[in-house]
Amino acid sequence: MSEIAGPAAAALASLCSDDVIFLQSLPKAELHAHLNGSIPIKTILELAQQYPHSSAQTTEVADTIEKLKSGVILNEIFDFFSLMPAIYALTSTPEAVAIVTRAVLQSFLNPTGDGAESPQCTYLELRTTPRSTTHMTREKYLTIVLDEIEMYPADQAALIVSVDRRMSDSDVEECISLAIEMKNRGRRVVGIDVCGDPRSGDMQTFTQHLSRAKGAGLGLTVHIAESTKNTTEDSLALLSCRPDRLGHATFLSDELKAFKSADYKPCMEICLSSNLLCKTVASLDAHHIRYYLKNDHPIVICTDDALPFRTSCLGEYSLLLAQPPLGLGLSRDDVARVARMGMDAAFLRPRD
């Protein structure tokens, strides 16, 4: 298992061994994990060692690696995005994309590679933004990721194609078209995600593409109201596509929170460590998960970016079970119910 630290590690350390065994044996779905944010530290360090010293990004890569090794400290969520250029510099070739995808899948589904250690989750919907670099097209990028994902059975791993809020209209269109074409060719693409710096992009311009993806049978999840900078118009544009799941939704207004209705109950993707470390939520006590638990609204517990947030599925579930102030103090029955809701929210419906 990858090393964890921070709030998840503290919660896990407070549990008795029976509780840990209970959490490990729960069938769990990880539905909100970004590929390049989930690279095991060992793998990113290996890639950094091979990185040419003469490259224009050498200093940036070295600085980011130092932060990842010593523990990333973010003053605000926007600082998170400054980690990505160095990670992208290390994963810009087809070989590196294959290496990191294999390592991420293994870290979630088969930690020691020999099946001896219990997997972090039963089912993984990994998401990534198709990237074109001097070494590969977006199609090649997705093909490499899918080749690795499809090494696992269909009831264990699938891909969500992310579009970044910073993308131009034609880039969004290209990514959505690729996702639809690949799905239609029988590749294991199950959904579309909208991610990226919450301050950027006009979501009105994304909606036609997102609706096309839904019409083609892909699931839809969107990062929504992740920052105070997201306006109500931004959230309304995204909600107009009726996403199946919503990521974070930290600052959704009370009025918008009431979107719950008989025929529309999107599952909320909850990333506790991510929100605490990005300082979008002050404490577990103040976390919006409490609202959704109280209102019996579907949620799924996710890691988001295990590399900078130094967490794991077990760590995130520990935050549910541990007693306050380290955790939410839910009962085992409630934690099991949450895990079942997560499985039910999968786009691939692993148990169908």
Spell out the SS3 assignment of 233-299: HHHHHHHCCCCCEEEECCCCCHHHHCCCECCECCEEEECHHHHHHCCCCCCHHHCCHHHHHHCCCCE
Query: Which residue, 122 or 230, is less far from ligand 6MZ as judged by CB?
Result: 230
Query: Which residue, 26 or 221, is less far from ligand 6MZ as judged by CB?
Result: 221
Binders of ligand 6MZ among 201-240, rule CB under 6 A?
Answer: 223, 226
Q: How far is the CB of 80 from ligand 6MZ (least distance, A)?
A: 5
Q: What is the Cα–Cα distance from 118 to 120, expressed in whole angstroms? A: 7
350 near ligand 6MZ, rule: CB under 6 A: no
CB atoms within 10 A of CB 12: 24
34 near ligand 6MZ, rule: CB under 6 A: yes
Q: What is the Cα–Cα distance from 136 to 221, expressed in whole angstroms? A: 26
Identify the CA nearest to 106 among candidates 120, 94, 93.
120
The span of 28-36, 53-61, 176-184, 211-219 binding ligand 6MZ (CB under 6 A) equals 28-36
The span of 30-38, 255-263, 290-298, 326-334 binding ligand 6MZ (CB under 6 A) equals 30-38
Retrieve residue 293's tokens.
């638990």
Query: Which residue, 121 or 335, is less far from ligand 6MZ as judged by CB?
Result: 121
Instruction: Determine which residue in the list 2, 156, 162, 303 makes contact with ligand 6MZ, applying CB under 6 A.
Output: 162
The dihedral formed by the CA atoms of 135, 136, 137 and 139, expressed in degrees to the nearest 10: -170
Map residue 50 onto helix, strand or coil.
coil
Query: Which residue, 128 or 221, is less far from ligand 6MZ as judged by CB?
Result: 128
Cβ 276 vs Cβ 314: under 8 Å: no
Q: How far is the CB of 256 from ligand 6MZ (least distance, A)?
A: 18
Instruction: Determine which residue in the list 120, 129, 230, 311 makes contact with ligand 6MZ, applying CB under 6 A.
Output: 129
Q: How far is the CB of 225 from ligand 6MZ (least distance, A)?
A: 11
Retrieve residue 134's tokens.
């001097």
148 near ligand 6MZ, rule: CB under 6 A: no
Retrieve residue 256's tokens.
């918008």
- Binding pattern for the stretch 60-89 against ligand 6MZ, x by CB under 6 A and - elsewhere: --------------------x---x-----
305 near ligand 6MZ, rule: CB under 6 A: yes
Query: Which residue, 2 or 36, is less far from ligand 6MZ as judged by CB?
Result: 36
The alpha-helical segments, DSSP class H, found in the chain are: 6-13, 17-25, 41-49, 58-70, 84-90, 94-109, 138-149, 169-184, 203-215, 232-239, 254-257, 272-277, 289-294, 306-309, 313-321, 332-344
- How would you classify residue 166: left for phi > 0, otherwise alpha for psi between -120 and 50, otherwise beta? alpha
Q: What is the Cα–Cα distance from 157 to 148, expressed in whole angstroms? A: 10
Residues forming the active site: 226
- Binding pattern for the stretch 35-54 against ligand 6MZ, x by CB under 6 A and - elsewhere: xxx-----------------
The span of 29-37, 136-144, 285-293, 335-343 binding ligand 6MZ (CB under 6 A) equals 29-37
195 near ligand 6MZ, rule: CB under 6 A: yes
Residues at the interface with ligand 6MZ (CB under 6 A): 34-37, 80, 84, 128-129, 162, 164, 195-196, 223, 226, 274, 278, 304-305
